[in-house]
Amino acid sequence: MADLLRWLESPRDDAGIQFADGRGGWTGFSYAALARRAQTAAAAVVEAGAPVGSVASIALGTGPDFPATFFGALLAGLTPNPVAPPASPRLAPIYPEYAAHILRQARPAVIVTERELERRVAAAARLAHVDAPLLVLPDEDATPVPPRRAADVALLQFSSGSTGRPRGIPITRANLEHNVRAIRTWLEMTPTDGTASWLPLHHDMGLIGCLLAPIVNRSPLWLMQPRQFIKDPLAWLALFGSGEAALTAAPSFGYAYAGLRAATGLPEEMDFSAWRAAIVGAERIEPAALELFCSALAPHGFDRGALLPAYGLAEATLVVSRHPLRALPRAIRPDWSTLTFGEPATIEAVAPIGDPVIGDGAGWLVGCGAPIAGTSVDIVGPDGDPLPSPSLGEIVVTGPSVAVAYVTDSTSDSRLRLGTLATGDAGILHDGELFVLGRMGDALTVRGRSVFVETIESRLATVPAVPVGRYAAVAGQDRGVALVAVVAEADTADWVEDAARALRAELGSTVAIRIAIGSRGAIERTSSGKPRRRAIWRELVSGTAPNPRFRPVLSWAAEERLGAAAHGAR
């Protein structure tokens, strides 16, 4: 645990975390103050009777008490377990059921929360049959507790739950320290490198990449809540435009969203030339999203070489593979007409991001770099045997950041056994670089080739007027017929037929197509922002949702001629 807690021995007074206050300003919290607050948290959980090696569940939002409680739990010899707060007031009524699923697996000895959440967290604990003290940290500093033996598990984190319910993953001290060290080495982090993030702190990319790594590095950190970023992405961009921050991470839809807002105009004084690392991960990376972002910021000095595509999973702590600093990311265009799981892939073209040949990005895959030190990535076929490169198969990861097992063996596409992770993701290795296609369970076989919902979404991204970052695709068999359905958070349906024609061109005439629209926030998402595709499928296809969120606006049957569509009300 030495690497994780060493910063507490000499915390900086001249650097720390700035929290967005929601009114356009920032509230500072030095690392020295954070260290004192961590001691207060450690004293609180010890006084509550939590024994060494037990779990401390942390149901807190983005604020000083979250990192203080995380490190306080480690100081007290406990295992921190972040539990997401409600993403929006609309989701608050169903929060106890979500949190109960986490608490049921975590079995915490103590739960730390805040006044605003106390009633709902207590309800979740009752649903989970967890009889643990519920704490709100005191305002005053406490006397440091005597040192306690470090827990073997340094973090109990949960998978996102995009293909099932979230699963508990015990991350050991060795797992966590290896991954944090790999991130710091990859980014060449120095004590003056500022990081700025809007990612939720309970999820692996926000927690490990954008909170723990900067704190362990003792470098300046700016944190926004996701809803603050959505409201004002230019406030996030301003941190880089002023030179205060140089490092960040986000999914590609976040860059596209910021790029759209930036395209309407940025203050002349913004200068992005010192922006060194813009990690892109959490979902399949869209070339169109990256190009939108780069085009908007390039006049102000942004360098495409700052883009760092990466691949990771909660089961591997966080990062599995990453693009190197100061090199343009690459994209490949496979021959999609012959792409079959378990078979060799034909690579038709390779080009750097920004090359005009990539065009709108349709049909291109962005590379996620090579594995981090000590980690190996294999592509295996249906029988589990490694395939020659380049072939399409399942991504299997081994290495010192990979966890040993799940807390429970609930349903998921991923399989974890003794430090080897069969990810449930399909990918291709080409020239030593990993290219990710999507979740195997969400793929559809069309005329012998594999089609992934991420590929469908990539095609939709090229259609004008499709709402950026506010749609999701699902695929499967409906009464023996291949079906692709798209849901979007949109006010109008004037883009729908163009989108359906693009999908028909991509999929051919043997696949049925449905499109439905709903209000903003209608797409059910995981705690990390990924669409809950199986929940969407159940609503659209099986009709089991008690309160449907979407209104059907288009339905084309398989083999149906264009123009003979059955349309809902516009």
Buried/exposed code over 278-317 (b: 16+ C-beta within 10 A; e: otherwise): bbbbbbbbbbbbbbbbbebbeebebbbbbbbbbbbbbbbb
pTM of the model: 0.85
Query: Do 396 and 506 belong together in one domain?
Result: no
Which of 221-230, 245-254, 522-531 bottoms out in mean pLDDT, i.e. has the lowest? 522-531
- pLDDT tens track for 383-400: 889 999 999 999 999 999
- pLDDT tens track for 159-204: 866 555 788 999 999 999 999 999 999 999 999 999 999 999 998 9
Counting the structural domains of the chain, the total is 3
Q: Is residue 274 part of a domain?
A: no
Q: Quick one: pLDDT band at residue 565, thresholds 50, 70, 90?
A: very low
- Which pairs with CB-CB distance under 8 Å and at least 24 residues apart come from 122-127? 123/96, 124/95, 124/96, 124/97, 124/98, 124/99, 124/100, 125/100, 127/96, 127/97, 127/100
Predicted pLDDT at 447: 67
Predicted pLDDT at 461: 78
Query: Do 433 and 448 belong together in one domain?
Result: no
Q: Is residue 175 part of a domain?
A: no
Domain's final residue, options 392, 424, 441? 441
Instruction: Please indicate whether residue 493 or residue 430 has the higher confidence score (pLDDT).
Output: 430
Query: Do 462 and 436 belong together in one domain?
Result: no
Domain's final residue, options 399, 417, 441? 441
Looking at the predicted structure, is the pLDDT value of residue 562 above 50?
Answer: no
Query: Do 421 and 464 belong together in one domain?
Result: no
Q: Is residue 69 part of a domain?
A: yes
Looking at the predicted structure, is the pLDDT value of residue 568 above 60?
Answer: no
Q: What is the CATH number of the domain that holds 482?
A: 3.30.300.30
Predicted pLDDT at 505: 81
- pLDDT tens track for 270-329: 999 999 999 998 777 888 888 889 999 999 999 999 999 999 999 999 999 999 998 999
Structural contact between residues 185 and 373, judged by C-beta atoms closer than 8 angstroms: yes
Which phi and psi (to 5°) does residue 530 adopt? -80, 145
Q: Quick one: pLDDT band at residue 563, thresholds 50, 70, 90?
A: very low
- pLDDT tens track for 31-88: 999 999 999 999 999 999 999 999 999 999 999 999 999 999 999 999 999 998 886 6
Q: To which H or E segment does residue 297 belong? A: helix 287-297
Q: What is the CATH number of the domain that holds 35?
A: 3.40.50.980
Query: Do 369 and 476 belong together in one domain?
Result: no
Looking at the predicted structure, is the pLDDT value of residue 482 above 90?
Answer: no
- pLDDT tens track for 410-455: 545 568 777 789 998 889 999 999 999 887 777 777 766 777 777 7
Structural contact between residues 13 and 30, judged by C-beta atoms closer than 8 angstroms: yes
Which of 215-224, 231-240, 258-267, 296-305 bottoms out in mean pLDDT, i.e. has the lowest? 258-267
Looking at the predicted structure, is the pLDDT value of residue 372 above 70?
Answer: yes
3 state SS for 357-417: HHCCCCCCEEECCEECCCCEEEEECCCCCECCCCECEEEEEECCCCCCCCCCCCCCCCEEE
Q: Is residue 58 part of a domain?
A: yes
Query: Do 434 and 542 belong together in one domain?
Result: no
Query: Do 350 and 437 belong together in one domain?
Result: yes
Query: Do 561 and 476 belong together in one domain?
Result: yes
Q: What is the CATH number of the domain that holds 337?
A: 2.30.38.10
CB atoms within 10 A of CB 228: 19
Looking at the predicted structure, is the pLDDT value of residue 512 above 90?
Answer: no
Amino acid at position 181, single letter: R
Query: Do 480 and 531 belong together in one domain?
Result: yes
Q: Is residue 407 part of a domain?
A: yes
Q: How far apart are CA 463 and CA 459, in angstroms?
A: 7
Q: Is residue 262 part of a domain?
A: no
Domain's final residue, options 129, 151, 173? 151
Looking at the predicted structure, is the pLDDT value of residue 341 above 90?
Answer: no
Q: Is residue 17 part of a domain?
A: no
Q: How far apart are CA 459 and CA 466, in angstroms?
A: 11
Q: Report, as an integer, the average pLDDT of 138-167.
A: 82
**Rounded (10°) angle between helices 287-297 and 252-263:** 40
Instruction: Please indicate whether residue 466 or residue 151 has the higher confidence score (pLDDT).
Output: 151
Query: Do 414 and 455 belong together in one domain?
Result: no
Looking at the predicted structure, is the pLDDT value of residue 458 above 60?
Answer: yes
Q: Quick one: pLDDT band at residue 456, thresholds 50, 70, 90?
A: confident
CB atoms within 10 A of CB 350: 16
Tokens of 195: 């990081």
Q: Quick one: pLDDT band at residue 569, thresholds 50, 70, 90?
A: very low
Query: Do 549 and 509 belong together in one domain?
Result: yes
Which of 102-111, 311-320, 545-554 bottoms out in mean pLDDT, i.e. has the lowest? 545-554
Structural contact between residues 501 and 512, judged by C-beta atoms closer than 8 angstroms: no
- pLDDT tens track for 344-364: 999 999 999 989 999 878 788
Predicted pLDDT at 566: 39
Q: DSSP letter string over 319-330?
A: EEEEPPTTS--E
Q: Is residue 297 part of a domain?
A: no
Predicted pLDDT at 86: 80
Query: Do 435 and 469 belong together in one domain?
Result: no
Predicted pLDDT at 163: 52
Among 109, 412, 87, residue whose Cα is nearest residue 99: 87
Residue 471, domain extent: 443-567
Which phi and psi (to 5°) does residue 433 adopt? -110, 145
Structural contact between residues 392 and 173, judged by C-beta atoms closer than 8 angstroms: no
